[in-house]
Structure 1
Amino acid sequence: MTLKTPFRRFSLAIFLIATLAGTSWTCEAKPLKYRVSESAAQAQGPMYATRPDAMQFADDLASRRNLDQEWVRQTIGQSSYNASVARLMQPPSQAFVKNWRVYRSRFIDPIRIQAGVNFWRTNRETLARAEQEYGVPAEIIVGIIGVETIYGRDTGKFRVMDALTTLAFDFPANHPRAKERSEYFKGEIEQFLTLENRKGADPFEARGSYAGAMGMPQFMPSSWVKYAVDFDGDGTVDLWNSPADVIGSVANYFKAFNWQPGMPTHYPVSFDNRHLDLDALMAPDILPTFSVASLTAKGAVLEGAALDHKGPLALIELLNGPDAPSYVAGTENFYAITRYNWSSYYAMAVIELGRKVAEQMKP
């Protein structure tokens, strides 16, 4: 699960649409992953062994985590700056215009839907068990894995250590949250090396997204540590090769972020322009804040089951380029999906892909 910057993946996906092909990173983040050539993914610049700040960080990490100091220094020191990683993390152009319809078309397509059907059929019993144990519907789990990596087809080509060190020590300085993001990725290095040390694995063998997200669900290292589960019971957690572990881990992630079993993700919404206070409705962004009564008092019009909803709601705006925006009323479960990736566009893509696959699964 995936780096969480609102609309970050969506912005980059469209900004780089001519050259990139897109699945997402989870995160914790996980920003959108893109098709990058093998040579670009592995393009190596200077090693971090020459950087005093990186070596001081290595010493501090080893002491803090009780890891072998020489191993930590060698691992961080042999990691290389990757210019492609830094470029992909650049802020989007100011001229960029969000467009839900374009974004949707990149994820809701026949190839991804059929791949989802195949994945669901192959893992039907495991998906049912995850839904029973965690309360997360199969279609949401299937939607996540499909948007992230097309069910494991594209898990990323970047060396995870290179990606993490590049973003920890050379995060683009022109990014408005550069310092915060740099600290975040230092924390991810710490989690990743602790994890790899515990597994006895070579940190340089792991490949992932340009942000260091890994496996079929594109978990960042911290998410792997916190939420990954051994759902197939073989004694190890394998988010690259075990669909069962992937399914269970995604479900566990959502349970940890307060998924409410049986609750819809969103409802249709329209407006009564006589009473509409759009600024007030949009002020909380995607955080569910309004009761049905307060939402309708500000000019939102809900119908059917939405009128009986007991929890808080948020007005979700999806821009459509030069055309009128689309709107839905998002529930706490919609918000839970945005904890995987902080984007309402991402959440809607997950929901709609899962729904399309579920429709194909009906007899």
Structure 2
Amino acid sequence: MAAFAGDTVAKSHAKAHKTAAHKASTRGPVYGKTTEAIALADELAQQHKLPKAWVRDQISKAQFLKGVPKMVLPPTVPTAKNWRAYRERFIESRRIDAGTQFWQTHQSDLARAEQTYGVPAEMIVGIIGVETFYGQNMGNYRVLDALTTLTLNFPASHPRAAERHAFFKSELGYFLAQAHHQGDASITGSFAGAMGWPQFMPSSAAKFAVDFDGDGRIDLRNSPVDAIGSVANYFKAFGWQTGMPTHYPVSFDEARLDKPTLLAPDILPSFSVSNFTAKGAVLDEQAQKHNGSLALVELFNGDEPPSYVAGTDNFYVVTRYNWSSYYALAVIELGQAVKANRALAFSQSSTR
């Protein structure tokens, strides 16, 4: 979900795509011309230089979605993070098969995106596969309803309520600007307002979406080609370095290991290879030649021992799409699995 740091990534994906029937039962009244709605409309109209009457009309028509405020709250009983369980939800045969078909259908567009932006096709395929199962689960919430609800009724009990409320109000403004330009405020997406094949938040759509199919308009919901180019452009904008791996395997020399220091920067690459290994990390031959900084990425496995990788600057770029190392590694491994499956299918067909 580009540029939206979900409070719990697994929770966001599990709840982002409810059925239309369920959502219909959770719709409340329209906001109408209440004092709060009019004040919000006037503020956003001024910020984005939009017609005040038009914005007031849109906000007045927005419906309160009763279940949405609860969906952005952290779980009341935190569950143990489990990379292996999380991975199984995305690195699965049906998603790999769908990704292989997606790549086959759009191989020329993926190749063009890789040439234009320097981002490997498997990374783009991984993002779209994790986000929306290749367009199958783009969300059916009206984005106007979702973002207005999260602006006017954001739960005060959230531990970062002020910050999150400001974020969703800003996203509502970006959405209204796009809706006015496109002449369509009925666009649907996730409960948090993410849209289309790549699940861009409105601000990301404004900054990074591109007309990659050349039809004169950007359409992330109906044009997978625009989505392909937009994901690649997003990665490039956040500093993707062509040819750099995302991560390396890592083990430890327990006699020299200073794990607290290695983990202190979290997923931000902060150590040179020499400093990394001096603190007890053991790298393979390829990783020892890495030209850049590394981070020790720790992924918990419930009651089992954690998994670790040495993350590069490119791993960090993937986390800018969704701020989670679990999400990033799922994207990377799904893309790799689809690439391998595609190669296998090609080799089998060529030997017949």
TM-score, normalized by the shorter chain, greater than 0.5 = yes
2:200 counterpart of 1:208: no
Shift of 1:34: 3.3
Unpaired runs of at least 5, structure 1: 14-21, 23-31
* Corresponding residue of 2:182: 199
Deviates more, 1:45-54 or 1:131-140: 45-54
Secondary structure (helix, strand or coil) at the match of 1:239 reads coil
Q: Given residue 174 of structure 2, which amino acid in structure 1 is its aligned partner?
A: Q
Secondary structure (helix, strand or coil) at the match of 2:307 reads strand
Q: Given residue 332 of structure 1, which amino acid in structure 2 is its aligned partner?
A: D
Q: Is contact 2:132–2:199 with CA below 8 Å preserved after alignment?
A: yes
Q: Is contact 1:7–1:345 with CA below 8 Å preserved after alignment?
A: no
Indicate the RMSD between aligned Cα atoms, in angstroms. Answer: 1.4
> Which of 33, 36, 42 is the equivalent residue of 1:59?
42
Q: Given residue 222 of structure 2, which amino acid in structure 1 is its aligned partner?
A: N
- Output the CA distance in 2 between the equivalents of 1:251 and 1:5: 19
Deviates more, 1:49-58 or 1:329-338: 49-58
Deviations 1:72-114 (A, max 9, x none): 0111122122122112111123431100011001111111000
2:130 counterpart of 1:172: no
> Which of 144, 147, 151 is the equivalent residue of 1:161?
144
Unpaired runs of at least 5, structure 2: 348-352
2:38 counterpart of 1:69: no
* Corresponding residue of 2:27: 44
Matched-pair identity in %: 55
- Output the CA distance in 1 between the equivalents of 2:6 and 2:226: 28
* Corresponding residue of 1:113: 96
Q: Is contact 1:33–1:156 with CA below 8 Å preserved after alignment?
A: no
Q: Given residue 41 of structure 2, which amino acid in structure 1 is its aligned partner?
A: A
* Corresponding residue of 2:316: 335
* Corresponding residue of 1:272: 253
Shift of 1:277: 1.3
* Corresponding residue of 1:18: none
Shift of 1:286: 0.7
> Which of 108, 122, 129 is the equivalent residue of 1:146?
129
- Output the CA distance in 2 between the equivalents of 1:284 and 1:219: 27
2:230 counterpart of 1:249: yes
> Does the C-alpha gap of structure 1 residues 274 and 94 become closer, same or farther in structure 2, counting only changes over 3 Å?
farther
- Output the CA distance in 1 between the equivalents of 2:76 and 2:272: 36
Q: Given residue 38 of structure 1, which amino acid in structure 2 is its aligned partner?
A: A
Alignment size in residue pairs? 343
Secondary structure (helix, strand or coil) at the match of 1:45 reads strand
Shift of 1:46: 3.2
> Which of 254, 259, 284 is the equivalent residue of 2:240?
259
TM-score for the superposition, normalised by structure 1:
0.91
Deviates more, 1:104-113 or 1:37-46: 37-46
- Output the CA distance in 2 between the equivalents of 1:298 and 1:281: 7
- Output the CA distance in 1 between the equivalents of 2:76 and 2:175: 31
Q: Is contact 2:3–2:204 with CA below 8 Å preserved after alignment?
A: no
* Corresponding residue of 1:346: 327
- Output the CA distance in 2 between the equivalents of 1:250 and 1:228: 8
